[in-house]
Amino acid sequence: MVLCGAVALGPAAPAAAQGALNLTCSVQVEWCQAAATNFTRDTGIRVNMTQRGSGEALAAIRAEAQNPRTDVWFGGTGDPHLAAAEENLTQAYESPNSAALQPWAQAQWQQSGGRAIGIYAGAIGFGINTELLARKGITPPACWADLTEARFAGEIQVANPASSGTAYVVIATLVQLMGEDEAFGYLRRLHANVNSYARSGTGPIKAVARGETGLSISFVHDAVTERNAGFPVAWATPCEGTGYEIGSMSIIRGARNLAQARRFYDWALTAPAQRLGFEAGGQLQTPSNRDAPLPPGAPDLTKIRLIDYDFARYGRSAERRRLIERWEREVGARP
Ligand code: PLP
């Protein structure tokens, strides 16, 4: 968790009488900070921002259900947003700006009973440190099946599904591709090649960029971010097909600052707000607003072999809990 405190009003900002917003943010911290700063500049509403991974955010929102300290949960993988909706931790809202969104973003809203909406999408794949693998004479992977081969022993980093939404999407993807028992057999074999399970989904790709590990299972847009920062990073999506996220946003039930929460929600759906992900945060997800362009160099989801991810099933609270518990029992350990 990264606590980022209040975003100060600039001298030209509107009066502070606009109130405050408590934001839990589950995208990368650079984007979280840019969202907070720009929203304050545009509206005069102060933002107290806390950054947490998707699984961690869900756990905190659950723990605070009787006395919520968050008004809006911005970003993070879609499955835990659906679980929060089902658990009545979030509230329905229909934004006048939702008509401008891609169908997949509106589908998330419908699926959640109006409690979560899509703000971006991104696909799971492999992050590869090309220099490190070349130095070790290791051929990069093309398929899920490659990752369990002996040549990747100790070379792979992934995240822990209890704290990371990314890691949960990986498990749900493998279950959908292989069937559940096969997928857990695969995850146990993969474990032999994993050097560590990171707390957040963004940790492994940063370890790849720094040359600490040759390979990660990550959202491929994050690999492009590292490459753009000058690191020897490439990405690939598995030949068997892969899963994806509908990064989402929800308003918390019992939000103390409901007017400000709705204002942020409306703002976050606009094209200028969505462009910030790339322009201020260097992020390369596919934005959900149809007028926000795909950032240059971003993975084009229409060219990736995506599975027909069953968001309704894998976003169900009990299913999510069951799969994570099975993973903890059979594969890894708690973070
Ligand atoms: N950062 C980026 C760029 C993402 O696309 C996502 C997924 O929504 C996350 C962070 C979420 O990370 P975590 O796996 O820690 O929940």
Here the ipTM equals 0.93
Residues 112 and 127 placed together within one structural domain of the fold = no
pLDDT tens per residue across span 125-173: 999 999 999 999 999 999 999 999 999 999 999 999 999 999 999 999 9
Determine, yes or no, domain membership for 111.
yes
51 lines ligand 1 (CB under 6 A): no
Nearest to 141 by CA among 242, 280, 49, 65: 242
147 in helix, strand or coil? helix
Determine, yes or no, domain membership for 41.
yes
pLDDT tens per residue across span 81-129: 999 999 999 999 999 999 999 999 999 999 999 999 999 999 999 999 9
Token pair of 42, please?
């545009």
Determine, yes or no, domain membership for 208.
yes
pLDDT tens per residue across span 208-241: 999 999 999 999 999 999 999 999 999 999 999 9
Determine, yes or no, domain membership for 335.
no
* CA 233 – CA 134 distance, rounded (Å): 12
Residues 72 and 140 placed together within one structural domain of the fold = no
79 in helix, strand or coil? helix
Residues 142 and 14 placed together within one structural domain of the fold = no
Residues 106 and 127 placed together within one structural domain of the fold = no
| Average pLDDT of the chain to the nearest whole number | 93
Determine, yes or no, domain membership for 310.
no
Instruction: Find out whether 70 and 257 touch, Cβ atoms under 8 Å.
Output: no
Determine, yes or no, domain membership for 126.
yes
Instruction: For a ligand 1 pocket test, name from 166, 286, 301, 309 the mutation site with the most ligand atoms within 8 angstroms of its C-beta.
Output: 166
Our count of domains for the chain comes to 2
Is the torsion defined by CA of 72, 76, 81, 82 positive or negative?
Answer: positive
Residues 145 and 232 placed together within one structural domain of the fold = yes
Determine, yes or no, domain membership for 305.
no
281: domain CATH number is: 3.40.190.10
281 lines ligand 1 (CB under 6 A): no
Residues 206 and 234 placed together within one structural domain of the fold = yes
Q: Which atom of ligand 1 is nearest to the CA of 168?
A: 14
141 lines ligand 1 (CB under 6 A): no
Q: Which atom of ligand 1 is nearest to the CA of 28?
A: 1
* CA 247 – CA 221 distance, rounded (Å): 13
Determine, yes or no, domain membership for 72.
yes
202 lines ligand 1 (CB under 6 A): yes
Instruction: Find out whether 201 and 283 touch, Cβ atoms under 8 Å.
Output: no
Strand-pairing partners, residue 289, are 101
Phi/psi at 136 (5° precision): -90, 0
For ligand 1, the distance from its centroid to the CA atom of residue 16, given in whole angstroms, is 31
Instruction: Find out whether 127 and 204 touch, Cβ atoms under 8 Å.
Output: yes
Instruction: Find out whether 112 and 82 touch, Cβ atoms under 8 Å.
Output: yes
53 lines ligand 1 (CB under 6 A): yes
Q: Which atom of ligand 1 is nearest to the CA of 26?
A: 11
pLDDT at residue 333 in the model:
61
Residues 203 and 320 placed together within one structural domain of the fold = yes
Residues 138 and 83 placed together within one structural domain of the fold = no
Residues 126 and 263 placed together within one structural domain of the fold = no
Residues 224 and 254 placed together within one structural domain of the fold = no
Residues 142 and 287 placed together within one structural domain of the fold = no
Residues 75 and 144 placed together within one structural domain of the fold = no
Range of the domain at 33: 2-121+246-298
